[in-house]
Amino acid sequence: MVSLDVLLAFLAASALVTIAPGPDNLMVLSVGISRGRSAGIGFGLGCALGCFTHTLWATLGIGAVVLASEATFTTLKMAGAAYLVYIGIMAWRYAGKMGMVTLDPGAAEPISAHLRRGFIANVINPKVALFFIAFLPQFVDQGRGEVWPQMLLLGVLFAAQTVVIFGSLGWFAGGIGARLQRQPGLAVWLDRCAGTIFFALALHLATVGR
């Protein structure tokens, strides 16, 4: 469906886009440093899984239809910002305790909780949806048949490389966090810094336009 040259160019561009500093990178790094490797990897994989959802929306044309409405875009944007604020509040509320939103603040959260959190943060961000709608078609060759299979393939490849990159970011950030948390009292400030980053990202998302 897609030529090898186009695939290689697409993978190179996708890797550069994913590695470049952005909201998802900051969230993965902050969670990994403040919560450890399991949390960082889980959050990163959650963001990567969100990319699969955006791929499906872009392929089916749902994303373009939904985001054509200013009201819908604003609603999604504010919902995403509110969710980031919620994560930030939980980070401050349970600073220094591994059970961010569990009934037992002293218990470590399972990786599934962080995966879910990363997935939701990515999926309800309309800027990510707009990126997929604008980015994927640039590598589609209409002379090679139907567009939607090419879009789907490219989107799946993009999501797959984010699994590798975000998972690696979470792993390395978690390693740094494990060393830092050996210092007495430092875990509290790591969580508060992570929470502040989420507040800043929420503000950015809430004020950005289409």
Task: Average the pLDDT over 5-30 and give the result.
Answer: 88
The two structure tokens encoding residue 84:
């980031």
Helix axis angle, 147-180 relative to 4-19, nearest 10°? Answer: 30
Distance CA 159, CA 47 (A): 9
Q: Are 96 and 23 in contact (CB under 8 A)?
A: no
Residue 103: CB atoms within 10 Å? 6
Task: Average the pLDDT over 124-150 and give the result.
Answer: 82
- More confident call, 12 vs 190: 12
Q: Which residues contact 26 (CB under 8 A, 6 or more apart)?
A: 197, 201
pLDDT at 117: 92
* Confidence check: pLDDT of 41 > 70: yes
pLDDT at 45: 94
* pLDDT band, residue 97 (cuts 50/70/90): low
Task: Average the pLDDT over 25-47 and give the result.
Answer: 89
Q: Could you tell me the end-to-end alpha-carbon distance of the chain, in angstroms, rounded to an integer?
A: 32
- More confident call, 21 vs 87: 87
Output the CA–CA distances (angstroms, integers) from residue 172 to 36, 39, 139, 178, 193, in the order listed: 9, 12, 32, 10, 18
* Confidence check: pLDDT of 150 > 50: yes
Share of the chain above pLDDT 90, in %: 20
* Confidence check: pLDDT of 101 > 60: no
User: Among 73, 59, 49, which residue's Cα sits nearest to residue 137?
Assistant: 59
* Confidence check: pLDDT of 201 > 70: yes
Q: Best-predicted range by mean pLDDT among 27-41, 105-119, 191-205?
A: 27-41
pLDDT at 158: 93
Task: Average the pLDDT over 93-121 and give the result.
Answer: 69
* Whole-prediction pTM: 0.77
Distance CA 53, CA 125 (A): 12
What mean pLDDT is reported for the chain? Answer: 82
User: Among 64, 24, 29, 31, which residue's Cα sits nearest to residue 48?
Assistant: 24
Distance CA 6, CA 94 (A): 47
pLDDT at 105: 40
CB-based contacts of 92-98 (< 8 A; 24+ apart in sequence): 92/191, 92/192, 92/195, 94/191, 95/187, 95/188, 95/189, 95/191, 95/192, 95/195, 96/185, 96/187, 96/188, 96/191, 98/35, 98/36
* pLDDT band, residue 130 (cuts 50/70/90): confident
